[in-house]
């Protein structure tokens, strides 16, 4: 017997795999794509250089090769996944940089080929909350009526002083405004937060999760901060070393954060994938599977479930 409502494998949180399997009755995998967009935080509109943790690929280290067409990128990755899961279906994931920042004509040209593509069950678009112009929103609303659509918004933290330090280029209110625009159109939103940002305390990171848990969102990704070579964060780390969460601290924090996230919100990620060849810290993050296993073990030891700390109405 499963103890948690949204689980069929004794997980105590609402896994993305559970959501996908129950919605599509199939194994579903994301195919990460690089559509060649830039970012207002890189081209001088909001700033230059991007967020200080961001690599030159614009958080698209595992997206396709920008030198290839989107069709070739998709074909290359989906073929590998097909070998692993013969009956796999896919989500076309526009991952690198800000995928609603550009002419609407380009955005349409990228998305349209995947709307009715064979074995593609959904489209996911990574972007910033301050890059949702009216014409783009109108188009996304149209796409949302034609296929399953997700928009992934990078929040990272609710604390504006941290946002300024990491050169985020928007504040928490900008995020809330962007989220509200998408939810008015009934577009599913997945929010990203990062644990371990410079200067943030355990309580500040927990406050971010608590705040996100009270928002109208449909999914959440929790990342560990990675110090990657040749980033501004790496320079800061060398000049003014800041505290990096230990493995145990991270696991404890994630378990606590999950306890404040409503059980219906899908948890797409609990730790990230740093590019090992460029990773400076934390090196413990490389062993992703063991981290996830130990999150499960700690939830059992504490008798925690996703949402267990949320006060129920009387």
pTM score: 0.93
User: In the predicted model, what is the mean pLDDT of the chain?
Assistant: 91
Q: Are 291 and 251 in contact (CB under 8 A)?
A: yes
* Class of the CATH-defined domain 16-302: alpha beta
| Distances 271 to 26, 102, 191, 213, 304 between C-alpha atoms, Å | 24, 30, 14, 18, 18
Which H/E stretch holds residue 266? strand 266-269
SS3 155: strand
> By CB neighbour count within 10 A (0-12 exposed, 13-18 middle, 19+ buried), where does 289 fall?
exposed
Dist CA 16 CA 218 (whole Å): 11
Nearest CA-CA partner of 42 in 151, 150, 128: 128
Q: CA angle, corner 36, sides to 220 and 95, nearest 5?
A: 15
Which H/E stretch holds residue 207? helix 202-213
Tell me the backbone φ, ψ of residue 199, rounded to 5 degrees: 85, -10
pLDDT tens digits along 225-277: 999 998 899 999 999 888 999 999 999 999 999 999 999 999 999 997 777 88
Dist CA 282 CA 206 (whole Å): 20
Q: Are 31 and 91 in contact (CB under 8 A)?
A: yes
pLDDT tens digits along 50-85: 788 876 654 545 566 788 999 999 999 999 998 889
Evaluate if residue 43 carries a pLDDT over 90: no
Model confidence at 38, pLDDT cuts 50, 70, 90, reads: confident
Burial 41-69 (b: 16+ CB within 10 A, else e): bbeeebeeebbbbbbebbbbbbbbebeee
Dist CA 247 CA 253 (whole Å): 10
């Amino acid at each position: 017997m499963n103890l948690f409502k949204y689980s069929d494998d004794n997980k105590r949180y609402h896994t993305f795999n559970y959501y996908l399997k129950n919605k599509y009755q199939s194994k579903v995998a994301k195919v990460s794509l690089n559509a060649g967009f830039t970012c207002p935080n890189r081209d001088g509109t909001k700033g230059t250089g991007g967020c200080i943790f961001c690599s030159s690929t614009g958080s698209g280290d595992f997206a396709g090769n920008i030198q290839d067409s989107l069709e070739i990128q998709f074909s290359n990755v989906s073929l590998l996944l097909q070998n692993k899961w013969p009956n796999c279906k896919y989500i076309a994931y526009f991952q690198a940089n800000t995928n609603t920042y550009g002419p609407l004509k380009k955005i349409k040209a990228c998305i349209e080929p995947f709307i009715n593509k064979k074995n593609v069950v959904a489209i996911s678009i990574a972007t910033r909350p301050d890059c949702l112009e009216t014409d783009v929103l109108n188009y996304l609303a149209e796409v949302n009526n034609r296929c399953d659509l997700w928009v992934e918004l990078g929040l990272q933290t609710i604390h504006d002083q941290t946002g300024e330090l990491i050169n985020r280029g928007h504040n928490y209110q900008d995020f809330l405004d962007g989220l509200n625009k998408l939810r008015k159109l009934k577009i599913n939103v997945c929010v990203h937060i990062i644990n371990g940002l410079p200067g943030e305390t355990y309580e500040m990171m927990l406050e971010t999760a608590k705040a996100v848990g009270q928002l109208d969102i449909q999914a959440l990704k929790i990342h560990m901060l990675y110090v990657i070579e040749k980033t501004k964060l790496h320079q800061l780390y060398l000049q003014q070393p800041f505290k990096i969460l230990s493995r145990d601290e991270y696991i404890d924090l994630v378990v606590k954060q999950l306890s404040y996230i409503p059980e219906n919100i899908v948890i797409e990620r609990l730790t990230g994938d740093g590019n090992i060849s460029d990773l400076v810290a934390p090196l413990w993050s490389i062993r992703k599977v063991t981290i996830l296993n130990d999150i499960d073990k700690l939830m059992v030891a504490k008798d925690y479930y996703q949402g267990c700390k949320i006060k129920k109405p009387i």
